[in-house]
Amino acid sequence: MKTEKNRNSFSGSIGFVLAAAGSAVGLGNIWRFPYLAAKDGGGLFLVVYLVLLLTFGFTLLTTEIAIGRKTKQSPLTAYKKLQEKWGFLGILACLVPIIIMPYYCVIGGWVIKYFTTYFTGAGSSAAADGYFTEFIGEIGQPLIFMAIFLFVVAFIIFRGVNHGIESSSKVLMPLLLLMVVGIAFFSLTIQSTDSSGATRSGLEGFRIYVIPNLEGLTLKGFFTVLLDAMGQLFFSLSVAMGIMIAYGSYVKDDANLAKSINQIEIFDTAVAFLAGMMIIPAVYTFMGREGMEASGPSLMFVSLPKVFSSMGRIGNLIGGLFFAMVLFAALTSAVSVMEAVVSSLMDQFHMSRIKAAAVETAIALAGGILVCLGYNKLYFDITLPNGAHAQILDIMDYISNNCLMPLVAIGTCFLVGWIIKPKTIIDEVEKTGCRFSRKSLYIVMIRVVAPVLLVILLLKSAGILRAI
């Protein structure tokens, strides 16, 4: 009881929405969403994603935030408080951010490296062939930049919920949104003529992005789009990794949960859409359709620097603004990942915030060093069950995102849908008198539709349904 009485809370709904949106708007929205949209028929992917966001994503997001506020506990202890025998689900949920944090800090370090490169006016060097692989192949620089990123995140966490998480979100998120909008609309104004004399423009790339391409679409192809969009929702909404439970536990009892959840959905969708609008037209203009096949690190750290270089003098400025925006997105997401672990240590072991943050910083630093060395001293190459080639970072990403997160989401659906019943969550949402307009939809999704989709996604991730 003492833990609950002393528990911090967001000062208001704006702070909570910005913090939650900051968690949701991360690297997954920036380097994965545009690639999937380009690969899966442009507007077709957007429509499927939006439908899933308002049904599947809404269900998981509502469930986790409500669990957090109802129990006033972190993910590690919240499930046990809901149902004693389901404490193992909290352990799995807490393992996800513990695994994610080290490699997220490594990638955050890469972003700092590129930001400083563009900020110092040396952006053209980042477009050179082999620049990225040479950088991550070093030992010193990646470790230094990873440590800088980690300690900035740790500093925010040390400052607590109000002075750290909420305050930083109120500054970083408006800046991030401003830069995303600015770069996105700039992408629409550019055009380029290649060596063959063909001229492409940002507006043409935008049409490829938003107009559904149904050419040659089969049932199997549509199912692939569906699973891609569903997998993206995990990244976009930060669900199934304990974050929203932790943030939900800091929401005051008189807050309008339904309204806040709607705002998070809108904010996340807007930024994800703008990320595609920012990247796809620019890549198409300077690299054609072939350039749109890149995703993840290769898109952000190889393809895009070449695009910025092709823009001429203004490319260094646009590249600097882009990586500043990416850095803000990475910071707000990393803060939420770290807080999920820190709040769990505080609730389970009754640690002070400073001690819990110090422990998680040490774990993340050790893991981050291991990930950095995975590109040089400890390099190896194995094939994962889903057919992808991998080393240390990819293995950690596969375990957390492809295995544990679907398992946590499936377990959460079963616990809420059939053990404690959907009414538990509905009552929590409606306890301030607010109207839960999607109540009937929520019940159907949490009990039947979401678990079925999640099982299929898990089987695909495990390589069992590789044909899909």
Q: Give 336-385 pLDDT, tens digit per residue.
A: 999 999 999 999 999 999 999 999 999 999 999 999 999 999 999 999 98
Rounded average pLDDT over 442-449: 97
Rounded average pLDDT over 276-283: 91
283-287, 357-361, 428-432, 459-463: least confident range: 459-463
Backbone conformation region of residue 322, classed left if phi is above 0, alpha if psi is from -120 to 50, else beta: alpha
What pLDDT is attached to residue 4?
Answer: 44
**pLDDT band, residue 5 (cuts 50/70/90):** very low
Average pLDDT over the chain reads: 92
What pLDDT is attached to residue 58?
Answer: 95
List the Cα angle 49/54/55 in 5-degree steps: 100
Give the dihedral of Cα atoms 285, 286, 290, 291; nearest 10 deg: -110
Evaluate whether 380 touches 457 at the Cβ level (below 8 Å): no
Show me where the domains of the chain are located.
2-377+422-442
List the Cα angle 452/455/457 in 5-degree steps: 110
In 3D, which of 279, 261, 258 has the Cα closest to residue 53? 261
The DSSP string of 186-226 is HHTT-EEE-TTS-EEEHHHHHHHHHSB--TT--HHHHHHHH
**pLDDT band, residue 296 (cuts 50/70/90):** confident
What pLDDT is attached to residue 75?
Answer: 95
What pLDDT is attached to residue 30?
Answer: 83
CA–CA dist 249, 174 (Å, integer): 24
What pLDDT is attached to residue 110?
Answer: 97
Give 198's contacts (C-beta < 8 A, 6+ positions apart).
Answer: none
Task: Flag whether pLDDT at 468 surpasses 70.
Answer: no
**pLDDT band, residue 214 (cuts 50/70/90):** confident
Which helix (H) or strand (E) segment holds residue 382: the answer is strand 382-383
Rounded average pLDDT over 274-295: 86
Task: Flag whether pLDDT at 71 surpasses 60.
Answer: yes
Highest-pLDDT range among 193-197, 247-251, 276-280, 429-433: 247-251
Percent of all residues in the chain with a pLDDT value above 70, rounded to a whole number: 98
Homologous superfamily, domain 2-377+422-442: Hydantoin permease (1.10.4160.10)
What pLDDT is attached to residue 2?
Answer: 41
Rounded average pLDDT over 126-154: 97
**pLDDT band, residue 267 (cuts 50/70/90):** confident
Q: What's the predicted TM-score (pTM) here?
A: 0.94
